Structure formats: C-alpha cells, structure tokens
Amino acid sequence: MPEDEKPSLSGVSVISFVGKAGTGKSQRAQVLARNLDIDYILDDGLVIRKGQIVSGRSAKTERNQVRAIRRAMMEFPDHRREIRQFFQQAQPCTVMIIATSEGMAEQIARRLGMPPPGNVIRIEDVATPEEIRRARLERKVKGQHVIPVSQVQVRKNFAGKLVGKLRVFWKGKNKYEGEKTIVRPPFSFIGALRIEPQAIEDLARHVALRTPQVRSIQEIRIKPGSEGVSMQLKIGVILGERNLVEIAKTVKTRISSSVSYFMGLDVRGVDVVVTEVELHGTKG
C-alpha cells in the first residue's frame, strides 16, 4: 500500500451509501445524512456539509468521463491530500461515502486513510423500485445528475450545464441546507469504463505516424501505473529539415498531450528512441 494510503484517520467513522449509477443516491443524500446525524457527505470527490462544499472537487467538473471517474475514486494525489488534511482536522466525525458499490466505497476510504465502512446503506433501503426506475430513466434520457449542494456553489466551476435546483421539505439554519442542484455534465456517467493498453498504443501510433519525418514505428511499450501511464517508443525517421533530437521531442510532446486530452490520463513519461534512419530512400 502506498504511503499516502496508510490508515491515519482512525477518528472518522465511515458509512457507505451504495447503488448503481443513476438510481438517485445524491438526491437522497442530505435527508439521509440529516436523519442519521452524519456530519459529512463524500460524493463524487466533494466533501459536503449541510449543503455546502467544504473540501474537494467534484468529478462533474471534469470535461471527460475518464478524469471524472478518476476524480471520484480519489486517484489524484493533490485531491487526496486536500481531503485527508480536512478530515485530520475534522475528526472525530462521521462521513457517508456515496458509491456505486461496496468495493468502490472501501477503496475510497482506504485511499484516504479512513477505516473501512462500518455500515452499508443501499439505495433499495431508502427508495422504492418505482422511484429508482424513474431516477434511472431521467439519467438515461436527459443525462441529468443531482449534486447535493446549492446552485450558487456549483456554478463556480462546473464544466457542463446547470439545469435547475431542488429543495427538500425541511430547511435548516444554514441557507444552503437541503438545496440540491440538477446538472448535465458533458459526458455520460452510465456504466463502467476501462481503457485497455492497446487503445493507448493505437492512439500513440496514430499520433507518431502523423508527425513529419516519422517513417515507421518499430515498438511501443505501455506501462500503466496508479499515478498515470508511461510509454516507450522506438521509431524510424527520414532525415530532413529537423534533426533526430527535434523529431523525438515533437513525438514526445504530441503523444503526451493527445493521451492526456483524449483519454483523460496522466502521462508520467514518454521515451522516444530513434532506431532507424532513412536518407534519400536508403535505410541506415
């Protein structure tokens, strides 16, 4: 276990609230937290208390699904440190982690250094089959999500479209308590997502071969890691206006930016080695 995932928040009691994507968990989170006297909600990367964002960043501020999932899973070190430092100051306290499965909730708690969830609440425990069906239909047809915070706070950094806001039937002393924001992110959040190394390799190959003076790709090695992906390419080039070092640097920059932009992955390094040189139609 990495150093920053070792348990350190022993004063935090964890409850998980689980259910499939789009079943209405965030819509019911505030009422559930109020009824169970839970101090904080951890939902899609945000720490929320009585309708206010107190730490973190929402996965729904991301502009693609890959980074959104990584944000929700606490895969970004700076995000993880911020939330852990917040709870170090807030403990003893109780937090409800909203997740699509028990395994996801356990993994989030582990990455933050929290104890594993001591209690599991399922969406089926607090919503009827008809309510769940309607929630999933809203997600599928309209692509709408609910964030259990006020529209004023969401507006600051949300990447998609704000659709509207809701209030529950009770109102606390805090003006934001009980208010929820309906949003439409610029991506779909239904289902699981997995990026195979082959897809990264295909993108890297395509980008490299479209780089001037690159003639061929001899080998591409992809090394996925918990903090990002590393790559090594062996290429063949044609001598021309730019020298070998300039060509390699261009390939490195273009692949790094393309993988980061199109796949939402952190690129830890791209090593480019020129193994074949062609001059005036002769390979060397």
Rounded mean pLDDT, 13-21: 93
Please name each of the domains of the chain with its CATH number. Answer: 3-184 (3.40.50), 197-283 (3.30.70.1350)
* Among 54, 38, 144, 153, CA closest to 98: 38
Q: Per-residue pLDDT for 241 more than 50?
A: yes
* Among 241, 213, 66, 52, CA closest to 148: 52
Strands 46-49 and 40-43, how do they pair? Answer: antiparallel
Distance CA 88, CA 192 (A): 32
Res 260: pLDDT: 81
pTM here is: 0.62
Res 146: pLDDT: 56
* Among 237, 260, 215, CA closest to 66: 260
Query: Half-sphere exposure of 189 toward its Cβ, with a 13 Å CA cutoff?
Result: 31
Highest mean pLDDT among 10-19, 130-139, 187-196: 10-19
Q: Which two tokens stand for residue 35?
A: 């009824």
State the pLDDT confidence band at 107, using cuts at 50, 70 and 90: very high
Res 135: pLDDT: 78
User: Is 119:96 a contact under the CB 8 Å cutoff?
Assistant: no
Rounded mean pLDDT, 30-44: 91
Report CA-CA distances (Å) from 241 to 207, 211, 244, 247, 255.
19, 13, 10, 10, 21
Report CA-CA distances (Å) from 36 to 16, 96, 141.
12, 10, 32
Phi, psi of 170 (to 5 degrees): -105, 160
The better pLDDT of the pair 21, 120 is held by: 120
Q: Per-residue pLDDT for 1 more than 50?
A: no
Kindly report, residue by residue over 249-274, the tens digit of the pLDDT: 999 999 998 888 777 777 889 999 99
User: 3-class SS at 187?
Assistant: coil
Q: Which residue has the tokens 């502009």?
A: 63
3-state helix vs strand vs coil in the chain, percent to 5: 35, 30, 35
State the pLDDT confidence band at 85, using cuts at 50, 70 and 90: very high
Kindly report, residue by residue over 122-154, the tens digit of the pLDDT: 999 998 889 888 878 766 655 555 555 555 444
Phi, psi of 110 (to 5 degrees): -65, -45
The H or E element that residue 12 is part of is strand 12-18
Q: Per-residue pLDDT for 203 more than 80?
A: yes
